[in-house]
Amino acid sequence: MNATRRGFLKTTAGLVVGFYLPGRGEVAAQGTAVTTQRVNAWVRIGTDDSVTLMIHKSEMGQGTVTSLSQLLAEELECDWKKIRTEFPGIDPAFGLQGVFGSQSIRTGWGPLRNAGAQAREMLLQAAAQRWGIGKSLCRASDGVISNTANGEKLTFGKVADAASKLTPPTGLTLKNPGQYKLIGKSMKRLDTPDKVTGRTKFGIDVRVPGMVYAAIARCPVAGGKVASFDATKAKAIAGVRDAVQISNGIAVIADNTWAAFAGAKALEIKWDEGPNAAFNTPAIRKAFTEQTLLPGASARRQGNGAAALDTAGKKIDAVYEAPFLAHAPMEPLNCVAHVRPDGCDVWASTQMQTGISGIALQLTGLRPDQITIHTQYLGGGFGRRAGTDYAREAIELAKIVKVPVKVTWSREHDLQNGIYRPASVTRFAGGLDAEGWPLVLTANIACPPMGGSGSFGGGRGGGVDSTSVEGIADLRYAIPHMQVDYHSVTGGVPTTYWRAVGYTQNTFFGESFLDEMAVAGGKDPVDVRRRLLADVPRLLGVLNLAAEKAGWGKPLPAGHHQGIAVVNNIGSYTAQVAEVSVTGGKLKVHRVVCATDCGQVINPAIVEQQIRSAIVFGLSAALKGEITIDGGRVQQSNFHQYDVVRMDEAPAVEVHIVPSTEAPGGMGEAGVPTIAPAVCNAIFRATGKRIRRLPIQGQELA
Amino acid sequence: MATIRFTLNGKPQAVDVSPDLPLLWVLRDALGLTGTKFGCGMAICGACTVHVNGTAVRSCSMQAAAIADKNVVTIEGLSADGSHPVQKAWIEKDVPQCGYCQSGQIMGAAALLAKNARPSDADIDEVMKFYICRCGTYQDIRSAIHRAAELQANGGVK
Ligand code: FES
Ligand code: FES
């Protein structure tokens, strides 16, 4: 796994086929391959019959490695059991490398199958030449080429060297769905055996000879700086070697992680806290809410917009709120860096290899070919590891200490010095026509930008951060008049992507308010959605499937109530029905039925796993997730104050996948947005109480 | 510094560490056994779970001095080759996603099954609700524990 790209290409006995995996923003239309001469991924068929896929994707739990291997093997016709994956050291010339927006399968779909087909055809050609027959008489299957004329056989490895002398063919016709042998099958995950024996190496597990351990005390207020510090007490701790100032705080160098943590805690630091110390949650909520009374930047105008409210028969309005959230991946952030006069190595579990390599270039002044980023397995990312702050500080520190250094974040550092899913407030108004159907919807959104300013992610146009309004501005409902306004606001803490980005809060807002409109019009929430989605067949399809499988409208166990929500994000379509009870003010989510249409499914078991995962993740936020600010400081320090859903609170999840041969949509984020509104819509049915602010915990449910 | 002697994964082990260094860091940093994970450092998440004299223990919150002469088993020593019934069931059900919490989950589940060979859903929840998985593998863990119980009944623990 630490093999560098250069090493990989040098050791090549056998056949190597290079190809290009487009980055975010390069997938013009869904599934369209990008034509280019650039190469950033390789497949090698070794003379020992091994098949190695070398890709710049990260594995953070979504089964990416397995699914991408299935795409390759489908066309290559290799022996599935012989595929290995390596993450190359990265080269800045590759363009943006990273894993976010659930895009690995979407970008890999065309190129990986094509690379597999190219390699297969070259192997077939080499075998045909060896036998002196036409290529059409040769067949590849399970890593073996057969001569259909006389039954002779050669393994891939036997002709790999000869194949490497041939020119890769172009214009190949790929299999049609009816011919798939691996795509669509629940192949076992390739990464499981190492993950049940403790062998998988995550970033935090990296050990380099001569390595020292470090922890960093960062300012509790974002953007604050060290005014002065005294490390006497820290240095008195057994195992602490030194304390040094870097740009974002004081780093304690030690013989082990524990001593580094203890040393960082024992430092006496005077901070120059800066302007963000003025922020606190009540004032942030008030300021955001007031913003939504003013006209904002236009994110959507349709029909007569807000003016149509005057023509509506019945009008309702509501204000919705969501808090800041931390990502809290199980593996705390960490990074190992080694900076030498002639080179820089960085080991990180990261979603953002390109960003880190750029920072290394900038901080070290070395040449691109002297920098190697070693991607490790990620113990969860959820968007946090698309940041680069943890690598920047490690590289900066490594320059000072001159030996390899591992910086580990404590859970307290992770929660309190983080980059957060923004808090936001949205004010809605809705109007119904004479028959009670939705006629007009307006939304006024106040939300700190999620990072959609260009570094990675959606662009900004006309003052609108596209990721902060997604989920409302792109609602697919056929409501004749719509108006969406946006205000860029700040809460004094940095903000970024979080699994499912803007949809995490906006789908909760939008799908809850649509439910309110249905109730106001005396309509069934499924009927309203059916009518408004008549021209969006894939969304209508999952709506109907989820309603049917959940038994919508049918009798439920005593005290049980259902709520529904739908979303179209990352190229997938998802509907969820949540079944809840509220007894003595106590909420229980019993069951969630999820229907999803994510185009061509590569691995159904992985899709189902991702949906179950997304539901627990989204439910944790809906029920309990909240980061609050006081004096610019995050008040939650560890899981006792930032709790997540546990096994006894996890609902039974049923997943129904719509068969499809459309280009694959993303999966990692598809299941997150709808769980909060489905649960809250069910709570309304159970209690008559409308939840307009998350988390649910702490609110009266009577 | 003190020399602590104990049994680690079936072999005698001696280590020179500060006596208050938590077992988690003895394993990970002093001895290089990185299968045991750090998640919270406060005995909340379970990622650091190992067996000490057969009992599931949160190694982040047990000092090195307390393991003197004890028998410590980590994920690396649960079986020689991934053949413990819990590991087999985990593979069969493809439980892990990112996998980071799974060493702790597996050690917790193995300790549970050693005490209760046929746990009910409620028995499982009662123990495993103290193990956090941010990837939300709970449903898969529960079904894998039932499967491990079957495997254990049919073949015994290795
Ligand atoms: S690290 Fe020990 S319980 Fe979380
Ligand atoms: S598998 Fe990722 S935290 Fe449990």
The secondary structure of A24-47, three-state, reads CCCCCCCCCCCCCCCCCEEEEECC
Tell me whether A379 touches chain B (CB under 8 Å): yes
ipTM of the assembly?
0.97
Tell me whether A305 touches chain B (CB under 8 Å): no
- Domain of residue A494, CATH code: 3.30.365.10
Yes or no, beta carbons of A195 and B99 under 8 Å apart: yes
Task: Indicate which ligand has the atom closest to the C-alpha of A330.
Answer: 2
**Which tens digits make up the pLDDT trace of B111-128?**
999 999 999 999 999 999
Yes or no, beta carbons of A328 and B90 under 8 Å apart: no
How far apart are the CA of B92 and the centre of ligand 1, in A? 27
Domain membership of residue A3 (yes or no) is no
Tell me whether B22 touches chain A (CB under 8 Å): yes
Q: Mutate which of A195, A325, A385, A669 to test chain B, going by most B C-beta atoms within 10 A?
A: A195
Residue A536: exposure state from Cβ atoms within 10 A (0-12, 13-18, ≥19): middle
Residues of chain B contacting A199 with CB distance shorter than 8 Å:
35
Task: Indicate which ligand has the atom closest to the C-alpha of A639.
Answer: 1
**Which tens digits make up the pLDDT trace of B65-114?**
999 999 999 999 999 999 999 999 999 999 999 999 999 999 999 999 99
List all residues of chain A from 146 to 205 with a beta carbon under 8 Å from chain B. 188-189, 191-202, 204-205
**A371 and A489 fall within a common domain:** no
How far apart are the CA of B45 and the centre of ligand 1, in A? 5
At A89 the pLDDT is: 58
**A434 and A498 fall within a common domain:** yes
Tell me whether A506 touches chain B (CB under 8 Å): no
DSSP for A227-277 reads EEEE-HHHHTSTTEEEEEEETTEEEEEESSHHHHHHHHHH-EEEEE--GGG
DSSP β-bridge partners for residue A319 = A427
DSSP for A74-124 reads HHH---GGGEEEEPPPP-GGG------TT-HHHHHHHHHHHHHHHHHHHHH
Report the nearest atom of ligand 2 relative to the CA of B136: 4
**Same CATH fold, B85-155 and B2-76?**
no
**A213 and A311 fall within a common domain:** no
How far apart are the CA of A330 and the centre of ligand 1, in A? 10
Tell me the mean pLDDT in the region A463-488: 95
Query: Which of A157, A191, A225 corresponds to the end of one domain?
Result: A191
Tell me the mean pLDDT in the region A480-495: 95
Cis amide bond preceding A695, omega within 30: yes
Yes or no, beta carbons of A204 and B139 under 8 Å apart: no
Domain membership of residue A14 (yes or no) is no
At A461 the pLDDT is: 53
Tell me whether B105 touches chain A (CB under 8 Å): no
Does B66 sit in the ligand 1 pocket, CB within 6 Å? no
Angstrom distance (rounded) from CA A301 to CA A363: 45
Domain membership of residue A511 (yes or no) is yes
pLDDT at A630 over 60: yes
Angstrom distance (rounded) from CA A417 to CA A122: 52
Tell me whether A648 touches chain B (CB under 8 Å): yes
Yes or no, beta carbons of B99 and A193 under 8 Å apart: no
At A34 the pLDDT is: 36
Helix axes B138-155, B102-115, angle to 10 degrees: 40
How far apart are the CA of B13 and the centre of ligand 1, in A? 23
Q: Could you tell me which CATH number the domain at B85-155 has?
A: 1.10.150.120
Of A197, A381, A605, the CB nearest to B87: A197
How far apart are the CA of A182 and the centre of ligand 2, in A? 26
pLDDT at A273 over 70: yes
pLDDT at A241 over 80: yes
Which residue is closest to B107 within chain A, CA to CA?
A196
At A457 the pLDDT is: 32
At A358 the pLDDT is: 93
Residues of chain B contacting A616 with CB distance shorter than 8 Å:
133, 135-136, 138
Domain membership of residue A198 (yes or no) is no
Of B25, B98, B141, the CB nearest to A256: B25
At A99 the pLDDT is: 43
Q: Of A306, A253, A266, A591, nearest to A431 (Cα)?
A: A306
Domain membership of residue A503 (yes or no) is yes
At A491 the pLDDT is: 93
Residues of chain B contacting A638 with CB distance shorter than 8 Å:
40-42, 44
**Domain residues for A398?**
203-274+333-408
List all residues of chain A from 599 to 628 with a beta carbon under 8 Å from chain B. 605, 609, 612-617
pLDDT over 70 percentage in chain A: 91
Question: What confidence tier does A59 reach under pLDDT thresholds 50, 70, 90?
Answer: confident
Greater confidence, B56 or A350? B56
How far apart are the CA of B37 and the centre of ligand 1, in A? 8
Measured in whole angstroms, how far is the alpha carbon of residue A500 from the centre of its chain? 7
Q: How many CB pairs under 8 A join A and B?
A: 182
Tell me what the pLDDT averaged over chain A comes to. 91
At A458 the pLDDT is: 37
Question: What confidence tier does A40 reach under pLDDT thresholds 50, 70, 90?
Answer: confident
The domain limits of chain B are 2-76, 85-155
Of B44, B78, B102, the CB nearest to A195: B102
Of A195, A257, A410, the CB nearest to B25: A257
Angstrom distance (rounded) from CA A472 to CA A452: 16
Does B48 sit in the ligand 1 pocket, CB within 6 Å? yes
Least confident piece of the model among A271-285, A374-388, B70-84: A374-388
Tell me the mean pLDDT in the region A691-700: 97
Measured in whole angstroms, how far is the alpha carbon of residue A431 from the centre of its chain? 35
Domain membership of residue A619 (yes or no) is yes
Angstrom distance (rounded) from CA A513 to CA A282: 24
**A560 and A669 fall within a common domain:** yes
**Which tens digits make up the pLDDT trace of A656-686?**
999 999 988 888 899 999 999 999 999 999 9
* Atom 4 of ligand 2, nearest CA residue: B133
Tell me the mean pLDDT in the region A120-132: 96
**A594 and A627 fall within a common domain:** yes
Q: Of B101, B94, B97, nearest to B143 (Cα)?
A: B94
Q: How does DSSP classify residue A17?
A: E
Tell me the mean pLDDT in the region A617-643: 98
Least confident piece of the model among A17-26, A366-375, A437-446, B136-145: A17-26
- How many CA within 13 A on the CB side of residue A233? 10
Site to probe by mutation for ligand 1, drawn from B27, B28, B42 as the one with most ligand atoms within 8 Å of Cβ, is B42
Query: Which of A383, A408, A433 corresponds to the end of one domain?
Result: A408
**A86 and A145 fall within a common domain:** yes
pLDDT at A455 over 60: no
Angstrom distance (rounded) from CA A587 to CA A13: 61
Tell me the mean pLDDT in the region B52-76: 98
Does B49 sit in the ligand 2 pocket, CB within 6 Å? no
**A590 and A484 fall within a common domain:** yes
How far apart are the CA of B131 and the centre of ligand 1, in A? 9
Residues of chain B contacting A334 with CB distance shorter than 8 Å:
none
**A56 and A132 fall within a common domain:** yes
At B155 the pLDDT is: 79
pLDDT at A2 over 60: no
**Which tens digits make up the pLDDT trace of A24-38?**
444 433 333 334 457
Which residue is closest to A200 within chain B, CA to CA?
B35
Does B94 sit in the ligand 2 pocket, CB within 6 Å? no
Angstrom distance (rounded) from CA A319 to CA A426: 6
Angstrom distance (rounded) from CA A674 to CA B34: 37
Does B138 sit in the ligand 2 pocket, CB within 6 Å? no
Residues of chain B contacting A207 with CB distance shorter than 8 Å:
32, 34
Report the nearest atom of ligand 1 relative to the CA of B38: 1
**A542 and A618 fall within a common domain:** yes
Does B45 sit in the ligand 1 pocket, CB within 6 Å? yes
pLDDT at A48 over 80: yes
**A82 and A221 fall within a common domain:** no
Does B135 sit in the ligand 2 pocket, CB within 6 Å? yes
Residues of chain B contacting A66 with CB distance shorter than 8 Å:
none
Angstrom distance (rounded) from CA A87 to CA A544: 41
pLDDT over 90 percentage in chain A: 81
Of A199, A329, A650, the CB nearest to B138: A650
Overall domain count for chain A: 3
**A649 and A590 fall within a common domain:** yes
Yes or no, beta carbons of B34 and A205 under 8 Å apart: yes
At A103 the pLDDT is: 58
Angstrom distance (rounded) from CA B112 to CA B118: 10
Report the nearest atom of ligand 2 relative to the CA of A329: 3
pTM of the full predicted structure?
A: 0.93
Domain membership of residue A18 (yes or no) is no
Which residue is closest to B50 within chain A, CA to CA?
A198
Question: What confidence tier does A21 reach under pLDDT thresholds 50, 70, 90?
Answer: confident
DSSP β-bridge partners for residue A589 = A580
Superfamily for domain range B2-76: Beta-grasp domain (3.10.20.30)
**A357 and A461 fall within a common domain:** no
Tell me the mean pLDDT in the region A463-473: 92
